[in-house]
Each structure stands twice: as structure tokens, then as C-alpha cells.
Amino acid sequence: MPKILVHSDAAPTTGFTNQGTPSPLAQAIRAGDFLYLSGQGPLDPKTREVVSDDIQVQTRQTLSNLRSVLEAGGASMAQVVNMRVCLRNTTDFAAFNEAFREFMQGEKVTRTCIGGTPHRAGVLVEIDCVAYLG
């Protein structure tokens, strides 16, 4: 079964070290009944710049970017089964979780949240996910 590349112009493509270099990554790949999304961060889809230094604003933008890629792949947040979150500052967890809860509007997923250093300066959160389309 071939993998199917998914792209949305309503979300940035990550995996670049500078804005002039094409990304080596797909925003998402469909494999069978699963859609695997690359990590998204709090980047404006048009400018590819970090939208804010506030963790809640960044969280909402990151989830919005994920939603755009999910929709391009024929999925919604309701079909997400797993998310992985990387927070630059683990002290942001409570504020992140509040914005996450509000955005998800009661939708349940499995999730892992770790502290780490996202590759880009100013990025406080990065999230990837897997959706089941079957």
C-alpha cells in the first residue's frame, strides 16, 4: 500500500533551518487507515513566524495548524487517537493544558507531554498526532 502525502496551504511546513530552504518533511502521510502528522508549532502559515511569546496563544495556533493538516487529509480532531507534545518550559504545563482543553472542546485523545527544546527559537510548544480514518 503506497503512502499518500498530504499538504495544506493553511498550515506551515516545518523541518527547515531557514525560510529559503525547502523542507525535507511532509506535513502528513496517510498510510492505510492512519494519518500521521509531522510536528506543528505556533507558526503563522503565511509568514512562518512565531505568532506570540504567550504559551496559550502558541498552543491555539499549533492546534489550529494541526487541524488544517488533518482537514487536508480528510480527518478532524474527532479522529485523532494520539498526540505528542513538547514544551520548552515544563512550568508552562498548566497554562498549555488550559488552552488545550478549551481548543479540544471535550474531545479525548491519548497524549504524552514532555519537556524539551524545540528546534526553533521562540517556539514554546510543538505537537504531532496520529488520526484513525477507518
Per-residue model confidence (pLDDT) at position 63: 98
In degrees, rounded to 5, the angle at the alpha carbon of residue 19 between the alpha carbons of residues 72 and 74 is 5
- Confidence at 60, pLDDT banded by 50, 70, 90: very high
18: pLDDT strictly greater than 70: no
Residue of 40, 57, 129 lying closest to 92 (CA atoms): 57
- Confidence at 4, pLDDT banded by 50, 70, 90: very high
Tell me: the pLDDT tens digits for 20-48? 777 888 999 999 999 999 999 999 999 88
Integer CA distances (angstroms), 13 to 1, 22, 92, 103, in order: 25, 9, 25, 22
* Cβ atoms of 75 and 35 closer than 8 Å: yes
CATH at residue 38: 3.30.1330.40
Domains in the chain, number: 1
Tell me: the pLDDT tens digits for 68-126? 999 999 999 999 999 999 999 999 999 999 999 999 999 999 999 999 988 889 999 99
The parent domain of residue 44 ranges over 4-132
Per-residue model confidence (pLDDT) at position 43: 94
5: pLDDT strictly greater than 70: yes
